[in-house]
Structures are given as structure tokens and as C-alpha cells.
Amino acid sequence: MAKYIYEHKNWTDFSWQFKALNAVFGEVRLMQGKIIGQMNALGFSAKEEATLTALTLDVVKSSEIEGDLLNYDQVRSSIARRLGINAAGLIPSNRYIEGVVEMMLDATQRYASPLTEKRLFGWHAALFPTGYSGPYKIEVGRYRTGDMEIVSGAMGKEKVHYEAVTPGLVKAEMDKFLDWFNNDNTLDPVLKAAVAHFWFIIIHPFDDGNGRIGRAITDMLLARAENSGERFYSMSSQILIERKQYYNVLQKVQHSTGDITEWIDWFLHCLKNAMLATENTTQKILHKAEFWKLHEHTPINERQRLMLNKLFDGFEGKLQTSKWAKITKTSSDTALRDIKDLIEKGILQQTNEGGRNANYELTDFELE
């Protein structure tokens, strides 16, 4: 069996071939600047909306990577409340969601503050408010004292993917990591985010939640790279899409002797893809912002506002009176009245498809 990277002497003296990474690194840095430029041109409320969307996706998708499905609207409401964003239709969320959100916002909004053991323990405690992970009691708010293996497969046929650093060494390894994190400013923050993610995952210092905390650390460094707590893209969303490659490359590079070029290359490409996905979202947000600007004096009731926002955010399936009534919790008559009113105002139109149930869509609008 090949040695794990941490079994080599001075294993954290990572190296990489910059030549191999130069092109994608340049693209990532260019795209970061471009996205920030686009966002700054958006105006305050659209920018707020973009940040809210990116942070919500980050929390939801980071948990989904671990198999935890969180309610999107509850996460969004929790973030909006904490950031003081006046978002329509805020709904209460449970303390598990509050904990995940608390960690993510602490990482991204207080990105310039040092990362300390105390802060990490706080994040860990926020992730596991009951002291349990599913049915299992775990050590919360402190480093693990047990061995850590990552296994898959049925009982008796388990396959060990990784054995982490022994518990006796965790504290010393984490002290070294935190010292580097807070005091070594020789690396570009984007590259530092790639190295930090790998380094933290290799130590695997906690009983559970290492992936989520590792991704929060990544987000913290990306916020530093942009010198801003505003987030416009979600790295976790992209990791979820590329999850298979994520695990494959980690598994491969965990046996390296110190050269982690392959990991950094994957990380930068993943980051680039996350930003490409954002360009799409930005167009949608721009479109939505322009619409509301155009209609700032048009009388639109709360139900209509809710449904129009849903249409701009990518409504699943076709819009029919019955769906309108169900989502806004009103009668079919009220739903039809709402829809007809928007048709008269030139905001909605009936689609060309025939059939018993009429379908509606947004009309194309041009700014004056």
C-alpha cells in the first residue's frame, strides 16, 4: 500500500509545477475581476440579491455533498435575516440550518479575522447543535480523539479510502496549519485556498463535518482574495456537480510525496466552472432587476410579486392557474384574477400551446 502524504517527513512543504497551472490560474483571476466589475455595475439591491443567492447555494450544496438535504427557502431566509436583507416572505428555520448558516457567514463576512482553534471549534459546535451526527453521538467543539477512516461499501466488505492522521498528532498538525493560515502571506490567496482545502482534509481533525468546514475555509480565503464578503459564485455548488472527480483526485493526491499539482489544477478548474455558472445567474439577476425598475410604480400585490420572482428565478414546469393558487395558497378564482391583471398590464402572456389548461409566461420587455 502506498504511503499517505502525511507519513513523509516535512509533508506540508507542498510543491507544484506552476507552469502547468499558469493558464488556468490566470483565467480564474481574470474572471474574478470581471464578475466583481459586472456586479458593481448592478446597483445595490441586485448585488444584495446575487450575494444572497450565492451564499444560499453554498450552504445548501455544501450540505448536499455530505448527503444532507436542507430546505432552500429556510436557508435563504436565515441568511437574509442575519445580513439584514429585506427579502420577501421570510420563513423560520430550524437550529441545524441556523448553525450551518452561522458558520458560513462567520467564514465569509469575517474573512479578514484570524482563523483560530476557538473559532474552528465554534463552527464545529454550530454544525452539530445536539452533539449528534444523525444517530451517532460525536465529539463536538474539539478535535477528535479517535482514529478516522473513510470507508464505503456494505458491512464486512468495506473499502478503506483513507486513513487520517492519528489522533495523537491532530493538535500539533492543526497548530502548524493555523500558523501557516494566519501568518504566511507569500501565496496568492486563490492558490492558498486550494492548498488550505487539501491540507485541512488530509488532517481530518474532527469526528464529523470536515468536508463542510474545509469548504468554509476555502470560501474564507476566496473572500480574502476578493477582499470582500460579497459572494457571487458558489464553489460548493460546483464541487457537488464534479463530486466524483473531487473524491478521485483527493484519493490520488493523498498518496503523493509532496507534489500536489494535480489537486491544485482540479481546484482551479472547478473554481473557473463555478464562475462560469455565475455569469448565467448574473444575467438572470440583471434581467430581474431591470424588470422591477421598470415596474417600480406598477401596482403589484404580494402574491403577484412572489410569483413573478419565482418566474425570474427559474420556475419548474409550466405556470398554470392551479399552480398559482397552490403556491400562493389562494382560490383558483383569485389566482385567475391575479393572472388576468398581469396580462392587462403587459407583464404575463398566454403561451401558444392549446389544451384544456392555459399556460402563462413572462412577456419579453425592453427597457425604455
Sorting pLDDT into bands at 50, 70 and 90, what band is 47? confident
Quick one: cell of 290? 431591470
pLDDT of residue 367: 54
pLDDT of residue 90: 80
Cα(210)–Cα(82) distance, rounded to whole angstroms?
A: 24
For 312-344, write each residue's pLDDT tens digit. 877 778 899 999 999 999 999 999 999 999 999
Sorting pLDDT into bands at 50, 70 and 90, what band is 354? low
- H-helix or E-strand containing 221? helix 210-226
Mean per-residue pLDDT, 255-272: 97
Mean pLDDT for all residues in the chain: 92
Sorting pLDDT into bands at 50, 70 and 90, what band is 240? very high
Helical pair 321-328 and 302-312, crossing angle rounded to 10 deg: 110
pLDDT of residue 355: 63
Cα(266)–Cα(241) distance, rounded to whole angstroms?
A: 13
Indicate the range of 14-28, 70-84, 261-275, 343-357 predicted with least confidence.
Answer: 343-357
For 148-204, write each residue's pLDDT tens digit. 988 887 778 888 889 999 999 999 999 999 999 999 999 999 999 999 999 999 999
How far, in Å, are 73, 240, 283, 305 from residue 292 at the CA level?
Answer: 21, 32, 14, 10
Phi, psi of 119 (to 5 degrees): -65, -45
Which of 355, 359, 350 lies closest to 317 in space, CA to CA?
359
Per DSSP, the three-state class of 151 is: strand
Q: Give yes or no for residue 368 having a pLDDT over 60.
A: no
Q: Kindly report the pTM of this predicted structure.
A: 0.83
Cα(265)–Cα(274) distance, rounded to whole angstroms?
A: 14
**223-239: b or e for each residue (b if 16 or more CB lie within 10 Å)?**
bbbbeebbbbbbbbbbb
